[in-house]
Amino acid sequence: MQPLLHEACESLSIILGEWRGSGRGHYPTIDDFEYTEEVIFGHSGKPFLAYGQKTKNAVNGDPLHSEQGFLRATGETALELVVAQPSGIVEIHQGSFASNESACVINLESIYVETSPTAKSVERVHRLLRIEGDTLTYDLSMAAMGQPLQHHLAATLERQ
């Protein structure tokens, strides 16, 4: 039985569900790339949403990135995001959101980024998500590998 959504997450209910689409990535240290993506936001009745995503190479379908984490509703419009990535990275973000019945904007800035001993270095991440009706778009900027913070990923997904 699906539990009731926690009242702290009610203003985030527009995010819940499964999203699919595609995106493009670029960064000075790598070749440009295109990907397909699945994102899922779920809940267990507690004051956070579970978040998971997977991307695949748009050309050959090989798995690329994935991440798993939790979006914590910590105040009326305040959020925290904790994320783990198989590339050996963990992130903690602080941010805020604004939403109504048909749209939502979430703005998250990393306050901690740590990488495992064998991972590539990442220093800072900025995540901006927008939902308008059944469309989710995001931009992700990153300071990594000694490069300054700059745009890295943009994607558009549709509610499934």
14: closest CA among 129, 139, 153? 129
Tell me the backbone φ, ψ of residue 19, rounded to 5 degrees. Answer: -130, 140
Asked if 27 is part of the footprint of a second copy (rule: CB under 8 A), the reply reads: no
Token pair 């990488």: residue: 115
112: closest CA among 83, 96, 92? 92
In the list 111, 133, 150, 158, the residue contacting a second copy (rule: CB under 8 A) is: 111
- Measure the CA–CA gap between 76 and 70, rounded to whole angstroms: 17
Could you tell me which stretch among 101-109, 115-123, 128-136, 139-147 binds a second copy (CB under 8 A)? 115-123
Asked if 118 is part of the footprint of a second copy (rule: CB under 8 A), the reply reads: yes
DSSP 152: E
In the list 15, 23, 72, 104, the residue contacting a second copy (rule: CB under 8 A) is: 72
In the list 11, 13, 22, 85, the residue contacting a second copy (rule: CB under 8 A) is: 85
Type of residue found at 51: Y
Asked if 41 is part of the footprint of a second copy (rule: CB under 8 A), the reply reads: no
Q: Please report, as ranges, the residues that interact with a second copy according to CB under 8 A.
A: 3, 44-46, 48, 50, 52, 54, 63, 66, 68-70, 72, 74, 80, 82-86, 88-92, 94, 111-112, 114-119
